[in-house]
Amino acid sequence: MAAELHVALVAADREVWSGEATLVVARTTSGDIGVMPGHQPLLGVLESGPVTIRTSDGGTVVAAVHGGFISFADNKLSLLAEIAELSDEIDVQRAERELERAKAEGDAAAERRADVRLRAATAR
Amino acid sequence: MGAQLRVYKRRIRSVTATKKITKAMEMIAASRVIKAQRKVAASAPYAKELTRAVTAVGTGSNTKHPLTTQAETVRRSAVLLLTSDRGLAGAFNSNAIKAAEQLTARLERAGQEVDVYIVGRRGVAHYNFRERKISESWTGFTDEPTYADAKKVAGPLIEAIEKDTAEGGVDELHIVFTEFVSMMTQTALDDRLLPLSLEEVAKEAAPKGEILPLYDFEPSAEDVLDALLPRYVESRIYNALLQSAASKHAATRRAMKSATDNAGELITTLSRLANAARQAEITQEISEIVGGSAALADATAGSDR
């Protein structure tokens, strides 16, 4: 059995996902980072972007994360986000509408949020 | 029906209606307490992880940050007071306000100026009525606060603490909120939120002397701390808002329960009085009839003779 790491994806008001994984890829402010079991203890600032979690049973969990932190120690990885959504919770049509609206209004933050949602939803 | 009896009947009807309302409010509050408690519990993992992360940066680096540096002389403090938008919650709001006033008095005795920030219409009304200055206030979300609300509250406070005291900033931030201890006990308390003492946070995160690993900071310890501390403050404020909401609902439930009990007692007393009035009326009628027939009998007996 491959080594595993315990992942907890936590939003400010709920625990979004937790379980065992073999690889987690997230986007920090200085670029994408992949964490596998046995990684050096790490604490980083996340950009909003999709987070990919390869679970130990071979599945993949994708979540849209908007700002937050990644921290890893003792094979325990926590992803803290103010807002986090799993890809299958994302309403694609709504996100598309949001994207259109944000583009029309020139709201860069909203556009980025909708874009991250869509990318997470399509990466599933 | 006699006038007095009618008055009693009317009062019983009105108290019964009041009792129905308070009973309904009690039930609504009871279900809201449970919902609010669940929200407090749901926010716990985030708060815990965040505390851990703050401790990790605090112990793993010697980074200085305006949010953790204690000013040599504190000249101005901010007090954030959490009250509710609606009343009917017993002493909930007045306890919180009283705690805030005690804290304000204490700070002023120490020679500090105090800026007051208020959440909740009740607290705002209290200060406005006394024509006291409020630096900023927020209303409309105290029943079910969301994280976005906490962010909205935290923003200007963090800004104020980062500003120089000479330019209108503050050196310390205190928060007054109502801690939800249990369904029966809620206590108003004050707490110093900023500047954050990293030692205390560390004690909270690892009470059993757990040793934290040496983290690799991405991109750097300063940047991580920069991003982390405001989130930590937001999460503390969020937690306080949630606890205040739960406490408010618990206080409402208790207040409405005693209102319902009192209404029940009042109804019993009033029905007794109404019964007595009815009985008195009947007795009076009987004695009138008896008196009347006796007079009649006397009259006929007199004419017979």
Q: What is the mean pLDDT of residues B186-209?
A: 75
Q: What is the number of domains present in chain B?
A: 1
Burial of A32 (0-12, 13-18, 19+ CB in 10 A): exposed
Q: What are the structure tokens assigned to B229, written together? A: 């501390």
Distance (Å) from the alpha carbon of B258 to chain A's nearest alpha carbon: 33
Q: What is the mean pLDDT of residues A60-74?
A: 86
Nearest Cα to Cα of residue B248 among B128, B88, B130:
B88
Q: What are the structure tokens assigned to B90, written together? A: 């017993």
**Cβ count near B18 (within 10 Å):** 16
Q: What is the mean pLDDT of residues A18-47?
A: 88
Measured between CB atoms, which of B43, B151, B218 is closest to A28?
B218
* Within a domain: B293: no
- Complex-level ipTM beyond the 0.90 threshold: no
Whether residue B278 is predicted with pLDDT greater than 90 in this model: the reply is yes
* Within a domain: B118: yes
Are the Cβ atoms of A44 and B42 closer than 8 angstroms? no
* Within a domain: B131: yes
User: DSSP class of residue B61?
Assistant: -
Domain that holds residue B203: 27-257
* Within a domain: B171: yes
Distance (Å) from the alpha carbon of B7 to chain A's nearest alpha carbon: 54
Nearest-Cα residue of chain A relative to residue B42: A14
CB B19, CB B264: distance < 8 Å: yes
pLDDT above 70 covers what percent of chain B? 93
State the pTM of this model. 0.84
Cα–Cα distance, B85 to A97 (Å, whole number): 35
CB A29, CB A40: distance < 8 Å: no
- Residue A10 touches partner B, C-beta closer than 8 Å: yes
Q: What is the CATH number of the domain that holds B182?
A: 3.40.1380.10
Q: What is the largest distance, in Å, between two alpha-carbon atoms of chain A?
A: 51
Whether residue B60 is predicted with pLDDT greater than 80 in this model: the reply is no
pLDDT confidence of residue A31: 85
Q: What is the mean pLDDT of chain B?
A: 87
Measured between CB atoms, which of B212, B213, B223 is closest to A45?
B223
Q: What are the structure tokens assigned to A7, written together? A: 């992942």
Cα–Cα distance, B133 to B175 (Å, whole number): 17
Q: What are the structure tokens assigned to B157, written together? A: 């406070």
Nearest Cα to Cα of residue B118 among B94, B135, B141:
B135
Cα–Cα distance, B81 to B188 (Å, whole number): 10
Are the Cβ atoms of A15 and B50 closer than 8 angstroms? no
Distance (Å) from the alpha carbon of A32 to chain B's nearest alpha carbon: 11
* Within a domain: B288: no
| Whole-angstrom Cα Rg for chain B | 31
Whether residue B247 is predicted with pLDDT greater than 90 in this model: the reply is yes
pLDDT confidence of residue B210: 62
Report the range of poorest mean pLDDT among A68-72, B92-96, B221-225. B221-225
Are the Cβ atoms of B219 and A44 closer than 8 angstroms? yes
Is omega for the bond preceding B195 within 30 degrees of 0, making it cis? Answer: yes
Q: What is the mean pLDDT of residues B243-259?
A: 93
Distance (Å) from the alpha carbon of B225 to chain A's nearest alpha carbon: 9
* Within a domain: B286: no
Whether residue A122 is predicted with pLDDT greater than 60 in this model: the reply is yes
- What is the spatial order of strands in the sheet that B186-194 belongs to? B136-138, B113-119, B76-82, B172-180, B186-194
User: DSSP class of residue A47?
Assistant: P
Whether residue B213 is predicted with pLDDT greater than 50 in this model: the reply is yes
Q: What is the mean pLDDT of residues B235-246?
A: 92
CB B136, CB B117: distance < 8 Å: yes
CB B47, CB B235: distance < 8 Å: yes
E strand or H helix at B24: helix B3-60
Residues of B in contact with A28 (CB under 8 A): 218-219
Amino acid identity of residue A35, one-letter, is V
Band (pLDDT 50/70/90 cuts) for residue B245 is: very high
* Within a domain: B283: no
* Within a domain: B253: yes
CB B232, CB B205: distance < 8 Å: no
